[in-house]
């Protein structure tokens, strides 16, 4: 009989950090969730990625165990708070993965670390997010009517079918999603010195929020190399069965390369 080793899942370590400790891991992947999303969006990543990769995820105010807190309203203080919370985790090789709005937060944290001369991520994986210049030209949706905003968000997907059909659940989730869109759509990205971490942009080929012609500009934000990975699917390609496996394989191969 084969004994299956069960790996511990993400555990709350601090208000901002959920982590699946792997003392012998070679690399730590720190994940930043999408608008309205919580750290649990990366729960399955713990078992899907090799044991050599430790997964940690950012938990922002206003969701899951922090639901009673107000969502962030200013990017600068948020970036500083997240950076401070992450410092105990930056003691070895690490990379950032951010999806959608989470890609912007991960990039801003990397920028702050670079500006302070602190430890830098070995790579930024920026998912489903246009470059800052392209995003600035994108139509804003946070100021739509409630019905129109909900329709736009539903069009993007990302909600479990059971949740999407539950009006009460959606009534609780939509305000946090709206707060995140308002936070980033009203934020003027400060373009500082080029970061010295390579950037890999990952995107679904049919993503209406991050069309393929809007991602090339990320190469202008790094001095350490830029590449892209294009997958089948839309804005939430990384959660599609089959495609998720491709994502995990790519991340593992890249992070554990000799």
Average pLDDT over residues 162-184: 83
pLDDT at 165: 67
pLDDT at 146: 87
pLDDT at 81: 98
Q: Which domains does the chain have, with CATH numbers?
A: 11-255 (3.40.50.1820)
pLDDT at 5: 43
Cα–Cα distance between 65 and 56 in angstroms, integer?
Answer: 16
Cα–Cα distance between 146 and 231 in angstroms, integer?
Answer: 31
Return the DSSP state at 210: S
Band of residue 128 on the pLDDT scale cut at 50, 70, 90: very high
Order of strands across the sheet that contains 124-127? 11-14, 17-19, 53-58, 27-32, 94-99, 124-127, 199-204, 226-231
pLDDT at 164: 63
For residue 1, pLDDT beyond 70? no
Q: Does 256 or 189 have the greater pLDDT score? A: 256
Band of residue 163 on the pLDDT scale cut at 50, 70, 90: low
Which residue in 66, 59, 123, 83 sits closest to 251, CA to CA?
123
pLDDT at 226: 97
Choose the weakest-confidence range: 3-17, 94-108, 123-137: 3-17
pLDDT at 4: 38
Cα–Cα distance between 134 and 73 in angstroms, integer?
Answer: 22
pLDDT at 161: 65
pLDDT at 6: 46
Average pLDDT over residues 42-57: 97
For the annotated catalytic residues, the residue numbers are: 100
Contacts of 111 (CB under 8 A, 6+ apart): 190, 192, 195
Q: What mean pLDDT is reported for the chain?
A: 92
Helix segments in the chain, DSSP class H: 43-48, 75-86, 101-116, 132-136, 146-156, 161-164, 167-185, 243-255
């Amino acid at each position: 009989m084969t004994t299956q080793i069960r790996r511990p899942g993400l555990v709350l370590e601090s208000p901002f950090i959920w982590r699946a400790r792997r003392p012998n891991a070679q690399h730590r992947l720190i994940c930043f969730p999408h608008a309205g999303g919580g750290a649990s969006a990366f729960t399955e990543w713990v078992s899907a990625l090799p044991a050599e990769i430790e997964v940690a995820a950012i938990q922002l105010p206003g969701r899951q165990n922090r639901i009673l807190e107000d969502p962030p309203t200013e990017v600068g203080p948020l970036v500083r708070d997240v950076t401070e919370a992450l410092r105990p985790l930056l003691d070895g090789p690490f990379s950032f993965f951010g999806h959608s709005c989470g890609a912007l937060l991960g990039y801003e944290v990397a920028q702050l670390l670079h500006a302070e001369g602190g430890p830098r991520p070995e790579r930024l994986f920026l998912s489903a997010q246009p470059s800052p210049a392209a995003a600035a030209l994108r139509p804003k949706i946070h100021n739509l009517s409630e019905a129109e905003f909900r329709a736009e968000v539903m069009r993007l997907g990302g909600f479990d079918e059971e949740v999407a059909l539950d009006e009460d659940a959606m009534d609780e989730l939509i305000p946090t999603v709206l707060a995140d869109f308002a936070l980033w759509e009203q934020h003027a990205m400060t373009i500082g010195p080029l970061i010295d971490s390579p950037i890999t942009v990952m995107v679904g080929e049919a993503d209406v929020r991050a069309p393929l012609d809007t991602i090339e500009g990320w190469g202008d934000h790094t001095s350490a190399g830029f590449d892209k990975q294009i997958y089948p699917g839309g804005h939430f390609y990384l959660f599609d069965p089959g495609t998720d496996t491709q994502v995990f394989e790519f991340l593992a191969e890249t992070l554990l390369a000799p």
